Amino acid sequence: MKTLGSRFRGNDTFTDPRKLTKRTSVADGPRPSSRAETAVPTPRNVFPDGCNMGTLLRVAVAVNVAALVTSLAIAPLDATAAFLSAAALIEPVLLGSLLAWCLLRRAALPLSVEWQRLAAWTVPMVLTWLLAQLFGRLGQEPSGITQLAWLVLAFAGGAAVQHYLELRARAFSPAMAEARFQALQSRIRPHFFFNALNAVLAVVRVDPPRAERMLESLAELLRAVMGDVRKLVPLEHELDLCRRYVEIEQTRLGARLKIDWQIGAVHPRAKVPQLLLQPIIENAVRYGAEKIAGDCEITVRVRQHGFNLEVFVANPIAVEPVQREGNQIGLANIRGRLALIYDLEAQLETKLRRDRFELTLTIPVGSKA
């Protein structure tokens, strides 16, 4: 068995998944452009994503800092009053513009990129004019700046924000994101492939049907690893991959590996990035069941709270320092993928509670249960 295992480890066909990924990606044809199919946003839509928490925070901080600096330049002796007066108009326009951009982006209007830019630039100006009319009827003025100046500033601010976010999107364009994803994906090479092949060889004569099921599960996992890890797949599909992986590991580790599946009510159309949950469970097996001598019970709990999907995984841990180092390497890979796909909308928290390592992953889903 050891000789055959070493032969598998020396085979370049198995140890270089990047080459296989490149060939299969070319044969698969053009990738779909909607977020329902892929996690990389389409470059044809240049409306700022006002619903994204990262976009909201970046724009809010930049606009308020610019307003504060302008207030200091215009009225250095009374900058606080000038800023508060301007904020009465700026904050509603800021929030209204983000909401309007969010709706326009998701409306998928059949507009050219040029018209999309013009519409995005105009939104803050229109909202500023409407609020200025409202303030005028109430007999209030946000500051001494004329209405025309406010309209010009709103248009310039909208153009600056849209242009910055478009440049940022180009910096994370499919070509750039492809390179980063390939770098992350190249590290998703589960070492259990070789152990699983040796396990199949051990049972192929004793229990051929079981060996056949293991090879089928291994083929599905290999197909997922070689596929596009940005692709969003139904949650049940990802859970099926996890169950196949656990079945293979239970053949290798025996009855001491136990999984407590706690799958709650989740919308049937909820999707997650492919091969996102499996590395988490693999981490729990590798640094739990493989490091401790007794039984290892891993808890996997999946719940949907509104538009967020929460995944909780807990496993017993060994006390060796290498355990925590290994976990951090795997979690850094997952955090990198989450940042590329969800920006600041996803959260990954870990903590040690007594003798168990607990991981809580929260990601947005498109449908509410």
Does one domain contain both 168 and 185?
Answer: no
Mapping DSSP onto H, E and C, the string for 237-257 reads HHHHHHHHHHHHHHHHHHHHE
Tens digits of residue pLDDT in 148-201:
888 888 899 889 988 888 877 766 655 444 555 555 455 445 555 776 777 778
User: Is position 108 within any domain?
Assistant: yes
How many structural domains compose the chain? 2
Range of the domain at 107: 53-172
Same domain, 156 and 296: no
In the numeric block, which tokens belong to residue 128?
A: 């500023």
Strands of 257-263's sheet in order across = 257-263, 296-305, 308-316, 356-364, 347-353
Determine the residue type at 342: Y
Contact 311, 304 (CB under 8 A): no
Instruction: Looking at the structure, tell me whether residues 130 and 279 fall in a common domain.
Output: no
Same-domain check for residues 158 and 304 = no
Residues 75 and 127 in one domain: yes
Residue 41 lies in a domain: no
Residue 21 domain-assigned (yes or no): no
Is position 216 within any domain? Answer: yes
Q: What is the dihedral of CA 107, 108, 110, 116, to 10 degrees?
A: 90
What pTM, to 2 d.p., does this model score?
0.57
Cβ(233)–Cβ(277) below 8 Å: no
Give 270's contacts (C-beta < 8 A, 6+ positions apart): 234, 235, 304, 309, 365, 366, 367, 369
With tokens 């040690």, the residue in question is: 352
Q: Which of 142, 172, 202 is the last residue of a domain?
A: 172
Nearest-angstrom CA–CA distance, 56 and 48? 10
pLDDT, position 141: 57
235 in any annotated domain = yes
How far CA 173 is from CA of 45, 178, 265, 303, in Å, comes to: 12, 8, 35, 32
Q: Given 172, 197, 228, which residue is the final one in a domain?
A: 172
Q: What region, left, alpha or beta, does residue 357 occupy, with left being phi > 0 and alpha being psi -120 to 50 degrees? A: beta
Evaluate whether residue 92 is within a structural domain: yes
Q: What local confidence, expressed as pLDDT, does residue 189 receive?
A: 53
Nearest to 270 by CA among 223, 318, 303: 303
Helix or strand holding residue 308 (H, E): strand 308-316
Same domain, 202 and 307: yes
Q: What are 84's two structure tokens?
A: 């508060």
Same domain, 184 and 167: no
| Same domain as 273, residue 128 | no
Stated as kind and residue range, the H or E segment containing 190 is none
| Residue 138 burial (CB count, 10 A) | 8
> Are the C-beta atoms of 141 and 150 separated by less than 8 Å?
no
CA-based nearest residue to 189, from 212, 231, 221, 219: 221
Q: What stretches in the chain show pLDDT beneath 70? A: 1-44, 108, 136-145, 170-192, 195, 225, 227-230, 319-330, 366-369
Which neighbouring-strand residues pair with 349?
360
Q: Residues 216, 313: one domain?
A: yes
262 beta partners: 301
Which region, left, alpha or beta, applies to residue 282 given φ > 0 means left and ψ of -120 to 50 means alpha?
alpha
Is the distance from CB of 272 to CB of 342 less than 8 angstroms?
no
Question: For residue 100, is it within any domain?
Answer: yes
Q: Report yes or no on 29 lying in a domain.
A: no
Task: Report the CATH number that the domain containing residue 246 is assigned in CATH.
Answer: 3.30.565.10
Last residue of one domain, picked from the residues 172, 191, 206: 172
168 shares its domain with 203 = no
- CB-CB contact of 149 with 132 (8 Å): no
| Type of residue found at 288 | G
